[in-house]
Chains A and B, each alone.
Chain A
Amino acid sequence: GENVEQHPSTLSVQEGDSAVIKCTYSDSASNYFPWYKQELGKGPQLIIDIRSNVGEKKDQRIAVTLNKTAKHFSLHITETQPEDSAVYFCAASLERNTGKLIFGQGTTLQVKP
């Protein structure tokens, strides 16, 4: 069935360094890939998304890359700041009409000042 694997489960970086989180999806028909940031006690916040007709998308310090052949996509955060510390989730969707998102297990990012 549909599955999304996310790595690493925890990631600790120094302020100013880059952070990379990787996800692999199982169904090659997946064509929409959002990333969410979830802070403690809050709901997930959509930070960036990419569709299968695009290989890369950037928004200030955040970028997402997609490799359809290998069925994996990655989140890149540059010049990390302490406020980037949170749990990050990737997700994949293949069902345009139902909107079902399959989430990864999450990555806890800690940015040390």
Chain B
Amino acid sequence: ETGVTQSPTHLIKTRGQQVTLRCSSQSGHNTVSWYQQALGQGPQFIFQYYREEENGRGNFPPRFSGLQFPNYSSELNVNALELDDSALYLCASSPRGEGRVQYFGPGTRLLVL
């Protein structure tokens, strides 16, 4: 098991609502990446945060936003939820200087009704 933790583990929302997911990175790691994993598919890169700034973004609309805090933990915010946002949201942290070496947390399962 990695030292990456995510909360909550499960979440149910309705279409149009907003959601905030949280991630604590592994000790000694300073970079956090977020991925969306639909059922039966590989994870899709949303964005990465380094030094509290977005450091690369995948093909996701602006209603997906994030934050990184001074202690390297991070939040993923999704506004105006759509049914297709139902997925497992994964957070990964990386050691200093190795942003592509990513250790994943257990994920947050989001269901949008």
B104 within 8 A of A: yes
A99 touches B102 (CB 8 A): yes
Q: Which B1-24 residues have a C-beta within 8 angstroms of A? A: 2, 4
- Of the candidates B2, B33, B55, B90, the one whose C-beta lies within 8 Å of that of A97 is B55
CB distance from A87 to the nearest CB of B (A): 9
| Interfacial chain B residues near A41, Cβ < 8 Å | 106
- Is A101 at the interface (CB under 8 A from chain B)? yes
A46 contact set on B, CB distance < 8 A? 101-104
Q: In the assembly, what is the distance between CA of A100 and CA of B49, in Å? A: 11
Chain B residues lying within 8 Å of A104, measured Cβ to Cβ, are: 42
> At the interface, yes or no: B105 with Cβ under 8 Å from chain A?
yes
Chain B interface category by residue count: 20 to 34
Number of A-B contacts (CB under 8 A): 72
Given A98-B55, A105-B42: A43 touches B101 (CB 8 Å cut-off): no
| Chain A residue with the shortest CB-CB distance to B99 | A99
Which residues of A have CB within 8 Å of B94? 99
In the complex, how many angstroms separate the beta carbon of B64 from the nearest chain A beta carbon? 15
Question: Cβ of B103: which chain A residues have Cβ within 8 Å of it?
Answer: 46
A44 contacts B by Cβ under 8 Å: yes
- List B contacts of A101 (CB < 8 A): 33, 35, 43, 45, 100, 102
18-50 of chain A: CB within 8 A of chain B: 32, 34, 36, 41-46, 49
Residues of chain A whose beta carbon lies under 8 Å from any beta carbon of chain B:
4, 6, 32, 34, 36, 41-46, 49, 89, 91, 93, 95-106
